[in-house]
């Protein structure tokens, strides 16, 4: 919601090229290109093949989580519990399959069972969130906030705050090989895109996000749609956890703790509305690309993690400002 403190001003002349860029769906992609072009000369290695692969490796899991967030935001909710879901599923998966004390230590089934357990747990967490939001009529912000506190606490308690390492290679290969991680992320994105743009579920999702009461009167199974969105978010967070855990080769109870800003930031930078109804996979992809690129470049520049934190915070503010500016200029 844009606060127009001074009332609407007369239509301003916006140069047509800028206006076209601002209006475009690809605005964030243009910004990515600008960022890359602007930083590449000063940033050693930004344009190298190695870094390119590294960039994609960073992008894949973040994209997967952000896809789930996109679905939940479209339906008019928010899921703050995704990072804790990543941590908890990581820990649980590792406890199932690690080669020392794991439940299935040494079994050839360890890795597949662990992955299924992780996804199942993610889906279950999502279902819990969805049920609390729909059947108990609790605000999504508070539900997923308490879920975040609880699940993260649970992951830490479960492991007494220790990492669980020594995972089977059959598992770690999933996250550490871009050749595997990328197709997983890409197919998730493709599937979510198909659901959103072409399926009954996608239309229902948007309708509920725009106006749940209208949707209910029109015969849309509102509760089921909302629950499905949260389940999808939990599942995708768990899938991202598989990638992250594999990449790290260890189950960590604080895995993903730092990426909540990235997840929500990337989704919103892409253009998905926090008020529901509006959002697309392509937008989220651009948002994720933008943040990943920024993170990567700042790292290559040798900046400390707190500087990166400040810059990212600033960039998110700038993106939000840009979004308001475009709404004001173009809609006034």
Partner 1 sequence: MNPTRQRLLLPLLNHATLVLFAAVLVGFGLLSPKFFTAANLANLLVQASSTAVVGVGMTFVLLTAGVDLSVGSVMFVAAAVAGKLTLAGAPLPVALLAIVAVGLVVGALNALLVVRLGVLAFIATLGTLYIGRGFGLWLTQTRAMNLPDSFLALGTAKVAGLPLPPVLAAVVVALAHVTLTRTPFGRQLYAVGASREGAKKAGLNVGRLLVAVYVLSGFCAALGGILSLAQLGAVSPTFGTNREFTAIAAAVLGGTSLFGGRGGVFPGTVLGAILIQSVENGLVILNADPYLYPLVTAAIIFLAVLLDSTRSRLQAHWGRRRIFDEPAE
Partner 2 sequence: MSPLLQFESVGKSFLGVEVLKAVSFDVGPGRVVGLVGENGAGKSTLMNLLGGNLRPDAGSMRFQGASYAPRHPRDARLAGIGFVHQELNLFPDLDLAENLFLADFPTRGPLIRRWELHGRAAALLQRVGLGLPPTTPVGRLSTGERQLLEIARALSFDAQLIILDEPTTSLSVPERERLFALVRQLRAEGRSLIYISHTLGEVLALADDVVVLRDGTVVGQGTAREFDPVRLVSLMVGRELKQLFPKPQSNGQADGTPWLEVRGLGQPGVVQDISFTLRRGEVLGISGLMGSGRTELARILFGLDPHATGTVTLAGKPLTGPPKERIRHGLALLTESRRDDGLCLEASVADNVALVTLGRHARSPLRLLSIAGLREALAKVRAAVRLQPRLTDQQPVQTLSGGNQQKVVLAKWLLAEPRVLLLDEPTRGIDVGAKAEIYQLIHELADRGAGVLVISSELEELTGLCDRLLVLNRGRITGEFSRDAFDSSAILRAALPT
Instruction: Please give the residue ranges that form the binding site for partner 1 (CB under 8 A).
Output: 1-5, 132, 136-139, 141-143, 145-147, 149-150, 152-154, 156-157, 160-161, 261, 264-265, 268, 274, 304-314, 316-317, 320-321, 324, 328
Q: Which stretch binds partner 2 (CB under 8 A): 71-79, 86-94, 191-199, 299-307?
A: 191-199
Q: Which does 157 bind (CB under 5 to 8 A by kind): partner 1, partner 2, none?
A: partner 1
User: Which CB atom, from 103 or from 154, has the smaller least distance to partner 1?
Assistant: 154
DSSP 48: S
Burial class of residue 88 (count of CB atoms within 10 Å of its CB; 0-12, 13-18, 19+): buried
By the rule CB under 8 A, 149 interacts with partner 2: no
Strand partners, 251: 164
Q: How far is it, in rounded angstroms, from Cα 147 to Cα 133?
A: 12
Considering CB distances under 5 to 8 angstroms, the limit depending on partner class, which of partner 2, partner 1, none binds residue 3? partner 1
Rounded to the nearest whole angstrom, what is the least distance from the CB of residue 197 to partner 2 in the complex?
Answer: 9
Q: What residue has token string 């989580």?
A: 65
Token pair recorded at residue 196: 């959103």
CA 277 to chain centre: 17
* Count of Cβ atoms closer than 10 Å to residue 84 Cβ: 28
320 binds, among partner 2, partner 1, none (CB under 5 to 8 A by kind): partner 1
State which of positions 49-78 bind partner 2 (CB under 8 A): none
Asked if residue 318 binds partner 2 (CB under 8 A), the reply is: no
Q: Which residue, 81 or 188, has its beta carbon nearer to partner 1?
A: 81
| Binding of partner 2 by 277 (CB under 8 A) | yes
Q: 3-state DSSP call for residue 161?
A: coil
Q: Which of partner 1, partner 2, none interacts with 217 (beta carbon under 5 to 8 A by kind)?
A: partner 2
Question: What's the rounded Cα separation, in Å, for the pair 139 and 152?
Answer: 20
Taking CB under 8 A as the binding criterion, the range among 29-37, 98-106, 174-182, 210-218 that sits at the site for partner 2 is: 210-218
- For the CB of residue 299, give the shortest distance to partner 2 in the complex, in Å: 39
Residue 199 touching partner 2 (CB under 8 A): yes
3-class DSSP state of 138: coil
Report if residue 20 touches partner 2, rule: CB under 8 A: no
22 binds partner 2 (CB under 8 A): no
Return d(Cα 238, Cα 111) in angstroms, integer.
14
How far apart are alpha carbons 105 and 149 in whole angstroms?
30
Paired with 164 in beta bridges are: 251
| 108: partner contacted, choices partner 1, partner 2, none (Cβ within 5-8 A by kind) | none
- Mention every residue, 6+ apart, whose C-beta is less than 8 A from residue 116: none
CA pair distance 39, 51, nearest whole angstrom:
14
Residue 136 phi, psi dihedral angles, 5° rounding: -100, 0
Enumerate binding residues for partner 2 (CB under 8 A). 6-11, 194-195, 198-201, 203-204, 206-207, 210-211, 213-221, 277-278
């Amino acid at each position: 919601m844009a606060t127009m403190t001074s009332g609407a001003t007369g239509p301003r002349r916006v140069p047509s090229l800028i206006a076209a860029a601002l209006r475009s769906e690809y605005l964030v992609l243009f910004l990515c290109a600008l960022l890359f072009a602007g930083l590449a000369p000063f940033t050693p290695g930004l344009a190298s093949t190695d870094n390119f692969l590294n960039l994609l490796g960073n992008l894949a899991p973040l994209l997967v989580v952000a896809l789930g967030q996109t679905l939940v935001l479209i339906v008019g909710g928010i899921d703050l519990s995704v990072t804790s879901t990543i941590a908890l599923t990581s820990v649980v998966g590792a406890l199932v399959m690690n080669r020392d004390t794991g439940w299935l230590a040494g079994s050839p089934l360890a890795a597949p069972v662990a992955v299924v357990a992780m996804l199942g747990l993610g889906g279950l967490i999502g279902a819990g969130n969805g049920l609390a939001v729909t059947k108990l009529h609790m605000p999504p912000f508070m539900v997923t906030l308490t879920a975040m506190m609880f699940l993260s606490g649970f992951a830490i308690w479960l492991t007494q705050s220790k990492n669980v390492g020594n995972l089977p290679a059959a598992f770690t290969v999933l996250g550490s090989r871009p050749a595997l991680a990328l197709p997983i992320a890409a197919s998730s994105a493709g599937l979510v895109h198909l659901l959103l743009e072409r399926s009954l579920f996608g239309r229902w999702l948007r309708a509920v996000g725009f106006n749940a009461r209208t949707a209910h009167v029109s015969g849309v199974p509102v509760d089921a749609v909302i629950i499905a969105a949260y389940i999808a978010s939990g599942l995708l967070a768990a899938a991202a956890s598989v990638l992250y855990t594999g990449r790290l080769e260890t189950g960590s109870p604080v895995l993903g703790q730092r990426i909540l800003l990235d997840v929500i930031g990337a989704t919103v930078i892409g253009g998905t509305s926090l008020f529901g109804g509006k959002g697309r996979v392509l937008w989220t992809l651009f948002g994720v690309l933008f943040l990943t690129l920024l993170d990567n470049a700042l790292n290559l520049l040798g900046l400390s993690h707190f500087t990166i934190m400040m810059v990212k915070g600033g960039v998110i503010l700038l993106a939000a400002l840009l979004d308001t500016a475009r709404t004001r200029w173009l809609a006034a």
